[in-house]
């Protein structure tokens, strides 16, 4: 299929979004995670943190290091990360298995404390994030439309609110990538085998109250 269509047929005969076919980790992530609605606080916190670490890098780089990130940040359990301090930052900066960027590491600890505040206010991190879900699209996106999307009014509004609450590394593009990954939008394009399944899950997904 043409690059313009944004689709690729794998060796298994399955048609996928073309971005996902260059590495087995991408294929697994595309098929089993990307776009599927998520309401677990730990997973939501992990993803928004990893989107921050991805800034300036490829997502594949982060996927390859994800298990190391999980080990380094206590499985992204919010309270555990929030309790980390100077000693842990020093250890993380010496951890070659993760992205050793001081600003991003410190932001992760800082954002965990902000996540605790959101959880206290809304009952869960999920209840806060799902408030920003845009209306569901009536039709699947084509590649040309998706290719032009880097942010949306909803991701800009989410980013603005998070920044107001003193979150770090949460610009509108990062916020939109987070919304794509966590199923707040379905950006599997028209013709991708995962689009219909993801849309079906979105219809039956119970939004956190």
Give the pLDDT of residue 195. Answer: 96
Give the pLDDT of residue 1. Answer: 43
Local structure of residue 150 (DSSP, 8 states): S
Give the pLDDT of residue 5. Answer: 82
User: Block means of pLDDT (10 residues each) for the chain, length 209 residues?
Assistant: 73 94 95 97 98 93 98 98 98 98 98 98 98 93 87 96 98 96 96 96 95
User: Which has the closest alpha carbon to 55: 150, 182, 187, 169?
Assistant: 169
Give the pLDDT of residue 144. Answer: 87
pTM over 0.85: yes
E-only strand ranges, the chain:
7-9, 15-17
Is 51 an annotated catalytic residue? Answer: yes
Give the pLDDT of residue 192. Answer: 96
Q: Choosing from 19, 59, 122, 132, which is the catalytic residue?
A: 59
Q: Choosing from 38, 46, 51, 133, which is the catalytic residue?
A: 51
> Domain segments of the chain: what residues?
7-57+116-204
Q: Please name the residues in contact with 176: beta carbons below 8 A apart, sequence gap of 6 or more.
A: 149, 150, 151, 152, 155
Give the pLDDT of residue 138. Answer: 86
Kind and range of the H or E run holding 126: helix 125-129
Q: Choosing from 29, 33, 88, 199, which is the catalytic residue?
A: 29
Is 128 an annotated catalytic residue? Answer: no
User: Which has the closest alpha carbon to 97: 59, 57, 56, 67?
Assistant: 67
Report CA-CA distances (Å) from 85 to 46, 77, 90, 104, 188. Answer: 18, 15, 9, 14, 39
CATH class, range 7-57+116-204: mainly alpha
Is 59 an annotated catalytic residue? Answer: yes
Q: Is 169 left (phi over 0), alpha (psi -120 to 50) or beta?
A: left
């Amino acid at each position: 299929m043409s690059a313009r269509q944004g689709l690729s047929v794998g060796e298994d005969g399955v048609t996928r979004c073309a971005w996902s076919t260059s590495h087995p980790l991408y294929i697994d992530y595309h098929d089993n995670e990307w776009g599927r609605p998520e309401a677990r606080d730990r997973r939501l916190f992990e993803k928004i943190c990893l989107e921050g670490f991805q800034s300036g890098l490829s997502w594949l780089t982060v996927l390859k290091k994800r298990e190391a990130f999980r080990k380094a940040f206590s499985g992204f359990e919010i309270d555990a990360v929030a309790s980390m301090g100077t000693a842990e930052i020093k250890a993380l900066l010496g951890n070659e298995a993760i992205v050793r960027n001081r600003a991003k590491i410190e932001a992760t600890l800082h954002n965990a404390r902000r996540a605790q505040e959101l959880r206290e206010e809304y009952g869960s991190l999920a209840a806060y994030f799902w408030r920003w879900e845009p209306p569901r699209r009536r039709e699947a996106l084509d590649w040309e439309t998706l290719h032009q999307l880097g942010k949306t009014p909803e991701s800009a509004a989410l980013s603005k609110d998070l920044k107001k609450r003193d979150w770090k590394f949460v610009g509108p593009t990062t916020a939109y990538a987070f919304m794509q990954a966590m199923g707040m939008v379905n950006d599997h394009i028209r013709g991708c085998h995962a689009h219909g399944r993801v849309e079906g899950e979105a219809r039956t997904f119970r939004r956190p109250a």
